[in-house]
Amino acid sequence: MVDTRLDDELEALRATVEEFAHDVIAPIIGDLYERGEFPYAIVKQMGEMGLFGLPFPEEVGGMGGDYLALCVALEELARVDSSVAITLEAAVSLGAMPIHRFGTDEQKAQWLPQLVTGQMLGGFGLTEPGAGSDAGGTRTTARLEGDEWVINGTKAFITNSGTDITGFVTVTAVTGEKADGRKEISAIIVPSGTPGFTVAPKYSKVGWQCSDTHELSFAECRVPAANLLGERGRGYAQFLSILDEGRIAIAALATGLAQGCVDESVTYAQTREAFGRPIGTNQAIAFKLADMEMRAHTSRLAWYDAAARMRAGAPYKKQAAIAKLHSSESAVTNAREATQIHGGYGFMNEYPVARMWRDSKILEIGEGTSEVQRMLIARELGL
């Protein structure tokens, strides 16, 4: 039999993050969300707790854990607020992890100490206005002139790219042509403030109001040749592997949102009365809540399975896609049902389920749409 219970160390982490989310984040996040403010104070506290360093070894300043530990933390954060959770997820999975996985010793020494403590955030510049699911359609270019890369192009929807503590964005760019005529795509680190690197005003988004998201443009932007991340021509492959890992993290985050919808709705159903009794005593509401709990539970089992395979060094691409697909769709359904249970109050921003409803939809889009996940699963089945 497979035991899906967390060990004592992970359970202690889960309980610590749960307490932090409820005691620190919950009382203030509503106001920050309404104003669309980045949660700098919360990020600072998460850094002091070691959350940004969870999956990194101690020798680089991390906590010596792994991706499972990160995902446990993400689920607990997302039970209260997804903006905070995605800030951590993107900072670790998309900002710091590429440096850790593919960086030179010099790059790691330069960037990792601040990344793993949350003092600095890094961005992940893959998506473009015309290249989302088809990330291989990258049009941003980088030409090598002497000892500098000269970058031109635009990136879209880039998380953690314009905060006061953003240190760099790693961008994918076409650096040549392969022998078979396909694009040679490489990854290059572009420090914030580099001339020719422009961060557009933040997007007006439906949800994730406390998450930082911008369009980025590069016009004859010059960075040292040494800023190449990993092997030239391997940038696309590197980022695909990063996305496989990231899908497990997004699945954990989506599970947290789905569970948060259950938490809020159970409390509301036990206290809100209609026709002289709590609405939770009505079978129509009780059955909604039972189905919501079922979705959250099965989503958790799915990401646990994918994370366990990754931890064991076994293939996990299909399981990560399954977890991401199931949990994101469960989050959307649970958010809709939670809003319905709350009735008119569910449409009011003072109630957390209103945030959860607005935040849920992006989970079916970001880090691979539901359609892309189905394509990956089908491909793994040999179709």
Q: What does the pLDDT average to over 253-276?
A: 97
Q: Where are the alpha helices (DSSP H) in 66-154?
A: 67-78, 82-89, 97-102, 105-115
- Asked if 91 and 52 touch (Cβ cutoff 8 Å), the reply is yes
What pLDDT does residue 240 have? 84
In this predicted structure, the answer to whether residue 193 has a pLDDT above a threshold of 80 is: yes
pLDDT level of residue 19 (50, 70, 90 thresholds): very high
Comparing 83 with 240, which gets the higher pLDDT? 83
Domain positions in the chain are 8-121, 122-233, 237-380
CATH T-level assignment (fold) for domain 237-380: Butyryl-CoA Dehydrogenase, subunit A; domain 3 (1.20.140)
Within 10 angstroms of residue 230's Cβ, the number of other Cβ atoms is: 21
What pLDDT does residue 1 have? 56
CATH T-level assignment (fold) for domain 8-121: Butyryl-Coa Dehydrogenase, subunit A; domain 1 (1.10.540)
Cα separation, 169 vs 325, whole angstroms: 27
CA dihedral 176, 180, 182, 185 (to 10 degrees): -50
Domain at 122-233: CATH code: 2.40.110.10
Report, as residue numbers or ranges, the catalytic residues. Answer: 367
What pLDDT does residue 172 have? 96
Cα separation, 268 vs 288, whole angstroms: 13
Q: What is the pLDDT of residues 129-156, one digit of tens each?
A: 987 777 678 999 999 999 999 999 999 9
Residue 158: strand, helix, or coil: strand
- Work out the percent of the chain whose per-residue pLDDT is above 90: 90
Q: What does the pLDDT average to over 231-242?
A: 89
Average model confidence (pLDDT) for the chain? 95
Within 10 angstroms of residue 202's Cβ, the number of other Cβ atoms is: 17
- Asked if 115 and 51 touch (Cβ cutoff 8 Å), the reply is no
pLDDT level of residue 215 (50, 70, 90 thresholds): very high
Cα separation, 116 vs 53, whole angstroms: 4
Q: List the structure tokens of 260.
A: 């948060």
Q: What does the pLDDT average to over 218-233?
A: 97
Q: What is the pLDDT of residues 51-98, one digit of tens each?
A: 999 999 999 999 999 999 999 999 999 999 999 999 999 999 999 999
What pLDDT does residue 133 have? 73
What pLDDT does residue 130 have? 86
pLDDT level of residue 3 (50, 70, 90 thresholds): confident
Q: What does the pLDDT average to over 297-314?
A: 96
Q: List the structure tokens of 130.
A: 């015309």
What pLDDT does residue 248 have? 97
Scan for tokens 């977890």, then name that residue.
323
